Structure formats: C-alpha cells, structure tokens
Amino acid sequence: MTRPGSHRSRGRVGVARLLFLLGGLAGCASSIPEASEPTPAELTLAIYTEEQATRGQRIFTTVCAVCHGRNEFVGPIFTLTWQAEPVGSLFEHISTTMPQDRPGSLSAAEYASVVAYLLQLNGRTSGEEELPADAELLSRMRW
C-alpha cells in the first residue's frame, strides 16, 4: 500500500535530479570557451614607422605629458603591467580613458601614434608599416 502523497514526493525528487543534471551540463557547457584569445605564439610583432613614433611623441608631449611622465611607460612596472598583454590592450585602455579630462577625444590614428611612441621608448624596432589604428588588429600584436 502506498502512502498518500508518496507519488508527489517521488516526482519532486525526480524533478530535482533532472534540474541537478541539467545544471551540471550547463556548467560544463559554460566552461567551453566561445572564442579563445590568441596565445603569445599566435601574436605577430607590432611594427610602427619612425614617422608614426615621432607623431606619437608630439601628441604625448602636448596631451599626455600634462599628467604623465615618460618614465611611467618604461621599466619593470610598465613591462609587467602591459607587455604581457597584446598591444591592443594598451591601445584600448588609452583610447577609452585618456586624456582623463576628455576620454576618447583623439582620433584612432593619434592613439596608435602614441602607442608607436611607447613601443619606441621600450626599444622596439621600427619598420616599414605603420601600427594600425584598429583595436581588433592590435589585439593580435605583441610587444
């Protein structure tokens, strides 16, 4: 003989088990990356021209140096903070947050020129092509 309501409690346990199983599957599915970030080996070397770095130095001197010194962009702290990331991370940061009183007020080309200047400050060799003013392309470039 079954107790009254026992079918209901078995049904609740079954539903709870099903939800637990589905939750576990959803957890597994969410751990699969949708699109992976490029590995350091997949990143290309960032190239800039001397002219672009010169333009970047002028912009840095007139816009950035109001708040920042050159020494903030070289040395071990800068290296640990930014050079482990793709060049696009710094470009994205400065183009959306700087200058502090007018974030995003420079053109993408001007921000790219400033990044070219920072590459030059950090001893990176110039080349024949300008550093692109495109966050997506820069996200695939390394220091």
Confidence of residue 57 (pLDDT cuts 50, 70, 90): very high
> What pLDDT score was predicted for residue 74?
96
Domain that holds residue 111: 41-142
Alpha-carbon span 79 to 81, nearest angstrom: 6
Q: 48 and 18 in one domain?
A: no
Between residues 34 and 50, the one the model is more confident about: 50
| DSSP 8-state secondary structure symbol assigned to residue 45 | E
pLDDT at 134 over 90: yes
Q: 126 and 81 in one domain?
A: yes
Between residues 27 and 58, the one the model is more confident about: 58
Q: What is the pLDDT of residues 6-17, one digit of tens each?
A: 555 455 545 445
> What pLDDT score was predicted for residue 115?
98
Q: 73 and 9 in one domain?
A: no
Q: 86 and 123 in one domain?
A: yes
Q: 81 and 50 in one domain?
A: yes
> What pLDDT score was predicted for residue 22?
43
Confidence of residue 28 (pLDDT cuts 50, 70, 90): very low
In this prediction, residues 76-84 reach a mean pLDDT of: 93
Q: 75 and 5 in one domain?
A: no
pLDDT at 123 over 50: yes
Q: Which of 38, 40, 60, 49 is nearest to 132 (CA)?
A: 49
- Burial profile 8-26: b = 16 or more Cβ within 10 angstroms, e = fewer: eeeeeeeeeeeeeeeeeee
Number of domains within the chain: 2
Read off the tokens for 43: 């990143």
CATH of residue 86's domain is 1.10.760
Q: 85 and 17 in one domain?
A: no
Mean pLDDT of all residues belonging to the chain = 83
Q: 131 and 113 in one domain?
A: yes
